[in-house]
Amino acid sequence: GAVVSQHPSWVICKSGTSVKIECRSLDFQATTMFWYRQFPKQSLMLMATSNEGSKATYEQGVEKDKFLINHASLTLSTLTVTSAHPEDSSFYICSALTGQTLEQYFGPGTRLTVT
């Protein structure tokens, strides 16, 4: 089956610093990837849609200058949380879309803690 990896699996950073999270499709090409965040006891909320070679599409209420998304290749998308604050602490999950069945395969997630 399709495999999606994320790196790092967890990260702790100080307030004001930036953190980059990578999402890779390991055995298939994904022209479209998605970034979600999940707060404790809550469901996943879509942050943005990342398309290879073009600008990401952000959901309403998500600051594009704070959450920078780059989809430079068909197997890699990155999310950079800039000037992180404690309220950005969350579980960030990416997914990659397969073309044939329109099924999304999810990465294992990245736990971000901002101190």
Partner 1 sequence: KQEVTQIPAALSVPEGENLVLNCSFTDSAIYNLQWFRQDPGKGLTSLLLIQSSQREQTSGRLNASLDKSSGRSTLYIAASQPGDSATYLCAVNGNNRLAFGKGNQVVVIP
Closest to 107 measured CA to CA, from 73, 79, 72: 79
Output the smallest distance, CB 106 to partner 1, in A. Answer: 4
Contact 33, 39 (CB under 8 A): no
Output the smallest distance, CB 108 to partner 1, in A. Answer: 4
Nearer to partner 1, 14 or 60 (CB): 60
Amino acid, single-letter form, for residue 5: S
Nearer to partner 1, 57 or 80 (CB): 57
Contacts to partner 1 by CB under 8 A: 6, 32, 34, 42-46, 49, 91, 93, 95, 97, 101-109, 111
Nearer to partner 1, 6 or 78 (CB): 6
Output the smallest distance, CB 63 to partner 1, in A. Answer: 19
Nearer to partner 1, 70 or 104 (CB): 104
Output the smallest distance, CB 1 to partner 1, in A. Answer: 8
Contact 84, 16 (CB under 8 A): yes
In angstroms, the CA 43 to CA 66 distance is 22
With a CB cutoff of 8 Å and minimum separation 6, the contacts of 93 are 6, 35, 36, 37, 38, 44, 106, 107, 108, 109, 110
